[in-house]
Amino acid sequence: MGTSDAVGPTWKGRFFAIWGGQAFSLVGSSVAGFALVWWLTKTTGSATVLAGATLATVLPQILLGPLAGAVVDRWSRRLIMIVADGGIAMVSLWLAYLFWSGAMRPWHVYAIMLARAVGGAFHWPAMQSSTSLMVPKRHLSRVAGVNQALQGGAGILSPPIGALLISILPLYAVMLIDVGTAAFAVLPLALVRIPQPRRSSAGAEGAAASSFLGDVKAGWHYVIGWPGLMLIVAAAVLLNFAVMPGLALIPILVTRHFGGQALQLAWLDSAMSLGFVVGGLALGVWGGFRRRILTAMMGVVGMGLGLLLVAAAPRSAFWLGLAGMSLAGVMNPMANGPIQAVIQATVDADMQGRVLTLLGSLCAMATPVSLLVAGPIADVLGIRFWYLVGGIITLLVGMLGFFLPTLYHFEEGRPRTTVTVPSEPQAHSNVEAP
């Protein structure tokens, strides 16, 4: 299993030392990312260039996800995070030099964003799968909520901080700030030991354990062989397909439907980000229902209702659209946090890297596909129609989750009938002593 409650009384100091460094690094990277996008916008003025930069940040997660998961489950997760953070710091240092020397060109941004995204593709699953080994099971939902709040807070604070910094500092200095925050993230990783799971039979023995390809295949078989886990993955992909266009098309909603300008767009974006913070903090304090899947399904239903409110808002009722976006923002952490926690608490510790990256890769693949579908539909049938479609799909997925036994009982563990090789008898026996 993922973790046990016998983590130790000192877990908070060890975990939050690492978490604090990662929080600083996230803010630094977000500020640097804002500065890079602004520089691209001012230098090229090309939507195609900006779209290409966005693609460079998404492709590594899609293409490297399964391989990264196998690496995370096979090697030291702490070392992977140190190398990823250190590599990102070196890339940012090179970026600072390019700005300082005046040699910066748009293609450099593509290469740098791609390199940073590659580091993130390995860092994220290493951090998430390490969390389940450092945090007691009963607190995983709270930690997931705090993580969601952090991401929402970074979304709110990074643009104004970035705008302020690039107005008073040269761009190379802004990049050096990112180098400093990345170094701050490496320091606690060098001092705090992270438990490393032993490779159990659930992680695939024999031929499967002899190669990365075997490990990747074992991850697929692990997911496919567990109906409840397969259902969670399918639901997450479907929800990304339904929800992501609604977030990407907010500018069109503002201009075409509400007839608004930049101020209205800022209000909607802020409502969503603030909702993330409120929902994440609420989950961090509350922790959710004892059966985490119920909290997740409640969050999904709430997101669906938020999208339907946006779809129902007439042109003269911008406030209703604002309320819908706020509700969707608040309920998003309630959906994502418990799902992440239930995977950490239930999936075998030495399989979590592969399961998490497989989930992330499939969800990332759903986003461009959904945008290709939603864009023409919104152009032909109106922007509110997609919010209606996305809201109905999201609402139905959330409501259906309450009535599916394989999903409702997911936290009780993998059914014995799906286990092909005997597994370890106890959850905590799958973890080496720190």
Residue 42 burial (C-beta neighbours within 10 Å; 0-12, 13-18, 19+): exposed
Same domain, 191 and 227: no
Percentage of residues in the chain having pLDDT higher than 70: 89
Q: Are residues 191 and 248 in the same domain?
A: no
Q: What is the per-residue pLDDT across 397-429, written as a single tens digit (0 to 9) for each?
A: 999 989 999 888 898 877 764 444 434 333 333
State the amino acid at position 251 in one-letter form.
Answer: P
Give residue 293's Cα distance to chain centre.
18
Is 372 contained in some domain? yes
Give me the mean pLDDT over the 209-214 stretch. Answer: 67
Domain-embedded: residue 425: no
Model confidence at 299: pLDDT above 90? yes
Where does 138-226 have alpha helices with state H? 140-168, 171-191, 212-224
Q: Rg for the chain (alpha carbons), in Å?
A: 22
Please report whether residue 297 resides in a domain.
yes
pLDDT tops 70 at residue 102: yes
Name the least confident of 8-17, 206-215, 238-247.
206-215
Rounded CA gap, 182 and 84, in Å? 10
Residue 432: the pLDDT is: 40
- pLDDT, tens digit, for every residue of 378-404? 888 888 998 999 999 999 999 998 999
Give the model's pLDDT for residue 433.
34
Same domain for 179 and 223, yes or no, is no
Question: Does 235 lie in the same domain as 189?
Answer: no
pLDDT recorded at residue 82: 92
pLDDT score recorded for residue 254: 87
Is 55 inside any structural domain?
Answer: yes
Give me the amino acid identity at 22: Q
Provide the residue range defining the domain that includes 275: 219-412
Q: Which of 43-47, 112-116, 190-194, 285-289 is predicted least confidently? A: 43-47
167 and 263 belong to one structural domain:
no
Give the pLDDT confidence of 322-333 residue by residue, as tens digits: 999 999 999 999
Q: Distance (Å, rounded) from C-alpha 434 to C-alpha 248?
A: 43
* 7 and 152 together in one domain: yes
Shared domain check, 374 and 239: yes
Tally of domains in the chain: 2
Own/partner long-range contacts of 15-20 (Cβ < 8 Å, ≥24 apart): 15/131, 15/134, 15/135, 15/143, 17/188, 17/191, 17/192, 18/127, 18/130, 18/134, 18/188, 18/189, 18/192, 18/194, 19/143, 19/146, 20/188
The whole-angstrom separation of Cα 267 and Cα 9 is 43
- Residue 378's pLDDT is 83
- When pLDDT is cut at 50, 70 and 90, the band that residue 1 belongs to is low
Is 165 part of any domain? yes
**Residue 399 maps to a domain:** yes
Q: Are residues 291 and 237 in the same domain?
A: yes
Q: Tell me the pLDDT tens digit for each residue of 354-369.
A: 999 999 899 888 888 8
Shared-domain flag, residues 66 and 191: yes
Given 195, 228, 259, the domain boundary residue is 195
In a domain, 384, yes or no: yes
pLDDT of residue 286: 93
Q: Is 259 exposed, middle or buried (0-12, 13-18, 19+ CB in 10 A)?
A: exposed
- Count Cβ atoms below 10 Å from residue 168 Cβ, excluding itself: 8
Residue 426's pLDDT is: 38
Q: In the structure, what pLDDT confidence band is assigned to residue 51 with cuts at 50, 70 and 90?
A: low
Residue 201 confidence class, pLDDT cut points 50, 70, 90? very low
Same structural domain for residues 189 and 253?
Answer: no
Q: Round the average pLDDT of the chain to a whole number and report it.
A: 84
CA 296 – CA 290 distance, rounded (Å): 11
> CA–CA separation, 214 vs 348, rounded Å?
17
Res. 6: pLDDT tops 50:
no
Same domain, 249 and 306: yes
| Assigned domain for 424 exists | no
Same domain membership, residue 182 and residue 223:
no
Please report the pLDDT score of residue 2 as a whole number: 52
Residue 280 has pLDDT above 90, yes or no: yes
